[in-house]
Each structure stands twice: as structure tokens, then as C-alpha cells.
Structure 1
Amino acid sequence: MQQSYQVKLDTFEGPLDLLLHLINQYEIDIYDIPVSKITEQYMHYIHTMQQLELNVASEYLVMAATLLAMKSGLLLPNQELDIEEEYEEDPREELMRRLIEYRKYKEAASQLQDKESDLNYSFTRPAQVIAFKKNQEKVSTKGDLSIYDMLAAMQKVFDRKKWNRPLETTIQRTEIPIKQRMEEVLTQLQDHRLGVSFDALFEYPSRSHIVVTFMAVLELMKDKKIYCKQETHFDALIIYSMEDNA
């Protein structure tokens, strides 16, 4: 029996991080969360993770169950309450409080990370003449996409390719090492100096090929050999080589 790819990524920061990403992406008012919409989009991401055979942490599934239960409760017809009955809190309020608190700590962590990054460029040593380039730029500033933006792009790939559609020809399954696929992606980028669309990397209707390609892209980004750009939300992702745009 062939073993499927099981991948665990440290880039995922938790279900609250994903919800906050969706709120920012769809410009949702955090004080008035549309449960139906946020639940639908959240489940799209969970489904995409499962299609990619990623090892989805249980906390994501717990949040999915919580959102579905919340959505079902809000869809039920309102029942008339007796005056003496205790006030029942809107189920969205607890989620709102958790998200606001998470956002507060996330922003504080980002500020601390910026301070740490600045300190990394501070050195205590005797004064001397140091030659450096005035236009030096940190490599990490290239591209500003999160793992959730990558998953959103994968959703579009699955929708366009229709992987589950019956094929007219029989294609033999072949397992491609991630290292080999990384080299193929780099070669493809060398032939396209102006970048390659994310969708163009997935040429073959094979689930193993799409999973390996996705992992190869993430590994290349981690190694700072490529980066992705997206002009605005929901636009196509463009992949660039670091060497061509150094």
C-alpha cells in the first residue's frame, strides 16, 4: 500500500490566527461577526488542508465544530423568553473577546519581533570605517504573504483543475521527491524572469503531484530561494526567483 504524504507545518499559528486572517481579508467588523460567512470560509480552508493531506491539528477541528454549532444555533427560530428568565449571551461575544485578546497579543508579539530584528543589526565594537551598501535590503522583506494566502491560492487551483473529474486517458501514478520538484520549479523560474503564476506550477491532474509541488514551493520560500507577491486580496499569486530580483 502506498503511503500518502503527511506533512505538519509550523507556519500555522492556530485557529484564532486563521479567523483573524479571514476577518482582515474580508474586512469584517470584529464586533459584529457574520457567523455564517466566517464559518463557510473557515471550512474552505480546513477542506483544502485535508485535500493537501496536511496534518491538521485537533484545535482547528474543535474550532470548526464550535463555529458550526454557533451557526446552527443562530439559524434556529427565536423563542419568546419569559421576563424572569436569565439573559442569554450572544454566542458571538465570547468569540469576539477571544479574537480581540488574540489580536492584542499578536500585535505586541509583532512589535517585539521588530525590536529584536533591529537589535540584530546593532553591534558594540570599537569605532572603525565599515564599508556597506547604502541600499542594503533584508531578504525577508520580499513578499508579504501568509500560509493562509497560499492555501487560498490552492483552493482556486483545486476549483480550476477539477482533480476529481474522470480523465479520458489513464495516467500512471509516479512519486516525485520534493527535492527534485524544488529543482524543477527553480528551473521553470529561470526561464521566466518576470515571474510565474502560482497556478501554472500545477500542470498535471495528479493529487501526488499537486501535494509535492505545494510542499516544494513552501520549502523554497523557507530557504529564501523564491518569494510570492500578490497585488491585492484575491489576486493571482506570482512566484519570483530571489536571484533574478536580488
Structure 2
Amino acid sequence: MTELNVKLDVFEGPLDLLLHLIKQLEIDIYDIPISEITEQYLEYIHTMKVLDLELAGEYIVMAATLMSIKSKMLLPKQEIAYDEDSDYPDEGEDPRDALVAQLLEYRKYKYAADVLKDKEIERGHYYTKEAANLDCYREDVPPLEPNQITTIDLFFAFHEMLNRQKAQEPLTTTIVAESFTIEEKIDHILTKLTHLPTSQGIHFNDLFTSFSKSEIVTTFMALLEVVKSGDVVAKQATRHEPIYLYRRTKTRVNE
């Protein structure tokens, strides 16, 4: 069977992944529990490897950095040195300081980029000359429906499902030579939804009933394709609630 290699632009880099983890775990960015964040980061790196994603070297460098910080924080603390010229004792440098500084700087520029994007959209309503036609350079991305989620949310849901399946995986399995394509899985997903009313959806986890890595990865990539094409919409009532997949009710205009 041909090896499946996929490149999925879910995160913009390791700092972007860390910020998502900090937000998801509701962690104080100024007091990061390095042991917990390192464990979570490595788990998501493992999920990316399971999906055969192209991992940039910077992700591996960040993993090494987190483990280095974690090891430093496990070392016994040095005795506090008192500076006679200062009113406060020198407690030594926190090994997390450099990482926190990077995250704060990245978050600042990410926020600035969002603000500039909003300004660009606002300025786009004013014209000093005839606008150029850029339709051939951009994709038609419809606005999100109520409770609709993004591919990043689907990635986190896939990660959680993968961990649950890992715990339930039988100790002995029978190897079956099966081959699945993304196109076949797309047809399977759309067929299941076609037989349901538009108001009724499929539970995200119900798509993954096999312990086969090949089938799980192929199914997830097929799901991303149908969500990207707009044939299927993924919705979640509130955070931490189950994710359901629905047939899109609106008629999409072909390009």
C-alpha cells in the first residue's frame, strides 16, 4: 500500500500551537506549568506524526526547548543571594522567562496582524480607483454558520478521539490487508449524511470505528476535504460539547 503523506496547515508554527494550548487549558501565560504544557505539546506532536504531517524543524526545536526548561525546573533551587545594594534578594532567573517573552511577543504581533486585517477589510470598502479583479487568486470561503467550528477545532477533536481509541485498543489484533482512498471515504461520509434529514447530524466519533491507522487517517483527511468544499458543516453547541456533522442546507454557487 502506498504511504500516505499529508501536509496540513493547522498551526502557523510552534508558538501558535503553544498559544492555542495555553488558551484551551486556561493557563496564565505569566506562570506556565511547564510540566503540563510540555506533556500536552508532545502529545499533539505525536498526533501530527500519526497523521503523517510534515513537521517543520521548528516544532522539534520547541519540543527540545520545553524539555530543557522542564529539566531545569526539576533541579534543586540555588540558595537566594542577597545584594546589599538592593532592597530585594536575587531569586535567580526563571528558566521560563525566555519562552514567556517569545509568546508575549508572538501574541502581540498576531494581535497586530488581526487588527491590520480588520483595517484592510474596512479600507476595502473605500475606493480611490477601480479595484483589480483578484478572484483568480483567492478561494471562495463562505462565512461560518452559527456554532460552526474550524479545522483547528476538528484537529483537537481528532487528537482527543485518538487518545481514547489508544486506551481502548485491544492487546491482540488481526492484521487485514485493506486499502482505503480519500475519495472512497468522502463518498462514505456523504452517503451516510444523505440518508439523514438535514437537521440530523452524525457524531464526530462515529466516523472512526476502526483501530487501523490507515483508515483513521484517511477518514480524517476525507472529513477535512468535505468540510473545506462546503458539502459538510461541523458544529458544536458549546465548548467541550460533542461535535456533529451535517449536510449543508444552503445551496452553494459553483465557481
- Which band: TM-score by shorter chain? 0.7 to 0.9
- Gaps of at least 5 residues in structure 2 are 84-89, 130-140
**Secondary structure class of the residue paired with 1:5:** coil
User: Residue 81 of structure 2 contacts residue 91 of structure 2 at CA under 8 Å; is this kept in 1?
Assistant: no
The Cα shift of 1:119 comes to 5.8
The Cα shift of 1:211 comes to 0.6
Q: 1:92 to 1:243 in 2, by over 3 A?
A: same
- Gaps of at least 5 residues in structure 1 are 126-137
Question: Are residue 197 (structure 1) and residue 196 (structure 2) matched?
Answer: no
Question: Are residue 8 (structure 1) and residue 13 (structure 2) matched?
Answer: no
Aligned partner of 2:222 in structure 1 is: 216
* Alpha-carbon distance in structure 1 between the residues aligned to 2:127 and 2:231: 28
User: Residue 14 of structure 1 contacts residue 59 of structure 1 at CA under 8 Å; is this kept in 2?
Assistant: yes
User: Residue 173 of structure 1 contacts residue 206 of structure 1 at CA under 8 Å; is this kept in 2?
Assistant: no
Moved more, 98-107 or 14-23: 98-107
Q: 1:189 to 1:114 in 2, by over 3 A?
A: farther
* Alpha-carbon distance in structure 1 between the residues aligned to 2:239 and 2:110: 21
* Alpha-carbon distance in structure 1 between the residues aligned to 2:73 and 2:181: 47
Aligned partner of 1:152 in structure 2 is: 156
Question: Are residue 111 (structure 1) and residue 115 (structure 2) matched?
Answer: yes
Aligned partner of 1:131 in structure 2 is: none
Aligned partner of 1:165 in structure 2 is: 170
1:5-84 matches, cutoff 5 A: 5-80=4-79
Q: Deviations over 1:117-150 (max 9, x none)?
A: 456677899xxxxxxxxxxxx8332323342x32
Q: Among the aligned pairs, what percent are the same residue?
A: 45
Aligned partner of 2:238 in structure 1 is: 232
* Aligned amino acid, residue 237 of structure 1: I
Q: 1:146 to 1:16 in 2, by over 3 A?
A: farther
Aligned partner of 2:142 in structure 1 is: 139
Moved more, 96-105 or 234-243: 234-243
Q: 1:93 to 1:146 in 2, by over 3 A?
A: farther
| Greater relative contact order, per chain length (Cα 8 Å cut-off, separation 6+) | 1
* Aligned amino acid, residue 41 of structure 2: Y
The Cα shift of 1:39 comes to 0.8
Q: Deviations over 1:24-65 (max 9, x none)?
A: 111111111111111111111111111222222211111111
Q: 1:5 to 1:120 in 2, by over 3 A?
A: farther
User: Residue 226 of structure 1 contacts residue 239 of structure 1 at CA under 8 Å; is this kept in 2?
Assistant: yes
The Cα shift of 1:82 comes to 5.3
* Alpha-carbon distance in structure 2 between the residues aligned to 1:107 and 1:190: 41
Per the normalisation by structure 1, the TM-score is 0.81
Q: 1:202 to 1:95 in 2, by over 3 A?
A: same
Q: Deviations over 1:188-239 (max 9, x none)?
A: 2223332111101112221111010111111222222222222333332222
Aligned partner of 1:135 in structure 2 is: none
**Secondary structure class of the residue paired with 1:239:** strand
User: Residue 49 of structure 1 contacts residue 56 of structure 1 at CA under 8 Å; is this kept in 2?
Assistant: yes
Moved more, 207-216 or 181-190: 181-190
**Secondary structure class of the residue paired with 1:66:** helix
